Structure 1
Amino acid sequence: MELRQIQYFIEVAKREHVTEAAHNLHVAQSAVSRQIANLEAELGVPLFIREGRNVKLTSVGKILLEHAEIALNEIEKAKEKIGEYLDPERGIIRVGFASSLAANPLPTVISAFRARYPNIGFQLKQGAYKQLIESVIKGEIDLAFLGPVPTQEKDVRSHIFFAENIVALLPTRHPLAKQPSIRLNELQQDTFVLFPPDFILRNIVMNACAQVGFEPKVSFEGEDIDAIKGLVSAGLGVTLLPEVTLIDNVPRETVKIPISEPTVKRTVGIIIPNNRELPASEKLFYDFLKEFFSVLNKFSQ
């Protein structure tokens, strides 16, 4: 089984037409037909059913397509990693991030990194907390920005860049809106706007409220930061959010207020796989991040 045969097979399977596949591959139709026939002969089973000018995958063909695409994708990854090894400053970095870090600090650090390494590209993947951890473990991405940073996951290594406060976001008409700070139990009669139950920021809020003896009444749920801010802005409840999400964007008709009791914080940092080495370009980025936040923390002290 040759790589060229796999490439031709995948192209025909996707287009369901030999002539169109050949045109897209920039080869003669006879060459595609011959390679498919050779592949079928080697495997001893038909891979396509001919339907006039079109073709359809057989059940065996569908099995082969599933594994062939994975194999071809892995080969492309290997080629990229070899390219990075030869010239790590021209690679592509695959990095995941949680939505609460999308506006800050992710754009800032990527911009600073690109200023130093302008020829390195990025593929960014936004995802839920547990999904990003799984993606790093499975090798779909090699780094992920998370908050809080997991410390009990044996398959990933964690590096904490900073810790930040969780603050209250209230409508401006709320009775406590003009206070310099509040105790969390002062909100126990309010309704809350929170993330759905499987989100890590929801767990942080629930645990903080339990710490002072109440379970928040949840009136609305939103799956992203902006949706939650908008619902609070509309006066539909209160919420708790990481302070970094409000640095440059406190919505109209809302006010952020520090929580004096209890202290509610989260860590922010990055995870990398524990069972494999980072590719060269990702290693450059990882080392840059540690340097960047080390300098930043010195200035903020």
Structure 2
Amino acid sequence: MELRQIKYFIEVAKREHVTEAADALHVAQSAVSRQIFNLEEELGVDLFIREGRTVRLTRIGKVFLEHMEKAMNVIDDARQEVIEYTDPKKGTIHIGFAASLASYILPTAIFYFRKQYPDVKFVLNQGTHSELLDWVKKGEINIALLGPLPQDQDKVKSTVLFTEDIVALLPSNHSLANRSSLKLIELRDESFVMFPKGFILHDVIMEGCLQRGFQPKISFEGKDLDAIKGLVSAGLGVTLIPEVTLVDCLPRATVKVPITEPSLKRSVGAIIPAERELLPTEKLFYQFIKDFFMRLEVYQN
């Protein structure tokens, strides 16, 4: 089994088309077909079902793909580690992040890190809470920033970077807009703008409201944080939102109001693999963000 065969196999499996895979690999279609045939001959099984010009994985092909993707991640990590050991200060960091950390937390951490290590490069991957967990477990990335931190995950290690409040974002003409604080129950009759099911902030809001004896009336759902803020700004509902997402500025025609009963908070932190070592440059960044947010919390307190 050759590394080239594995690369060709993964590309064909991903595209389900030999010609398209060959174009992406910049090789002849016949070369791809031959290597796939040789691989199947060596393994003694059919990895693909041929359907005209397209192909799809057999059941055993899907199993083989899962293992080969993990193997290629290990090989890529090994190659990158060899490069970085010559100079960890010039490596590349693949990092995942949640949407709520995109506008302030992640850019701020990277900005100050690159003041110390200006030659380090970053590849950024935004994902949902479950996607970030899955990527770290599978080895597609080794560091992810998210909130709240997952509990009881055996394949990842979690580090809390800071804890923040969940606040209410209201239209500025709302009857509660002039309040210095409010109780969550006071929003029971409001129309909510929220992330859809599958997003962790949806679950946080739902849980908080249900604990106070009501289910929020959802008027709009959206996967984009700025769109949610915009709908509130347009007076189409209220939302509960991590305070850090409002650090730079409030959307026009909105106000943020702290919630005192209950006090809604979330932990924000980093997850890394429990069973794999970080690459040298990743270790630099991981230690940096732990120290950076510890100093920031001390300063704020």
Q: What band does the TM-score fall into relative to the shorter chain?
A: 0.7 to 0.9
Identity of aligned residues (%): 53
Which residue does 1:158 correspond to in 2? 158
Which residue does 1:126 correspond to in 2? 126
Which residue does 1:169 correspond to in 2? 169
CA deviation digits over 1:183-218, x for unaligned, max 9?
Answer: 111111111111112211111111211222221111
Which residue does 1:293 correspond to in 2? 293
Separation in 2 of the partners of 1:32 and 1:154? 39
Say if 1:227 and 1:123 are closer, same or farther in 2 by CA, change over 3 A. Answer: same
Say if 1:56 and 1:69 are closer, same or farther in 2 by CA, change over 3 A. Answer: farther
Which residue does 2:142 correspond to in 1? 142
Separation in 1 of the partners of 2:46 and 2:204? 55
Say if 1:208 and 1:122 are closer, same or farther in 2 by CA, change over 3 A. Answer: same
Amino acid at match of 2:171: P
Q: For 1:1-301, list aligned pairs within 5 A.
A: 1-3=1-3, 24=26, 70=69, 74-301=74-301
* Structure number with larger C-alpha Rg: 1
Separation in 2 of the partners of 1:137 and 1:126? 16
Is the Cα contact below 8 Å between 1:10 and 1:68 reproduced in 2? no
CA deviation digits over 1:42-78, x for unaligned, max 9?
Answer: 789999xxxxxxx998989xx5995897455643332
Alignment size in residue pairs: 292
SS of the equivalent of 1:164 reads: strand
Q: In the TM superposition, what is the alpha-carbon distance from 1:269 to its structure 2 partner?
A: 0.8
SS of the equivalent of 2:244 reads: helix
Say if 1:135 and 1:185 are closer, same or farther in 2 by CA, change over 3 A. Answer: same
Q: In the TM superposition, what is the alpha-carbon distance from 1:94 to its structure 2 partner?
A: 1.1
Separation in 2 of the partners of 1:16 and 1:119? 38
Amino acid at match of 2:241: L
CA deviation digits over 1:154-202, x for unaligned, max 9?
Answer: 2211111111111101111111111111111111111111111221111
Residue ranges of structure 1 left out of the alignment (5+ in a row):
48-54
Separation in 2 of the partners of 1:279 and 1:42? 34
Separation in 1 of the partners of 2:247 and 2:6? 51
CA deviation digits over 1:106-150, x for unaligned, max 9?
Answer: 000011111111222111110000111111111111011011112
Is the Cα contact below 8 Å between 2:167 and 2:240 reproduced in 1? yes
What TM-score, normalized by structure 1, do the two folds share?
Answer: 0.81
Residue ranges of structure 2 left out of the alignment (5+ in a row):
48-52
Separation in 1 of the partners of 2:256 and 2:165? 12
Q: In the TM superposition, what is the alpha-carbon distance from 1:32 to its structure 2 partner?
A: 9.9
Separation in 1 of the partners of 2:84 and 2:153? 28
Separation in 1 of the partners of 2:215 and 2:10? 54
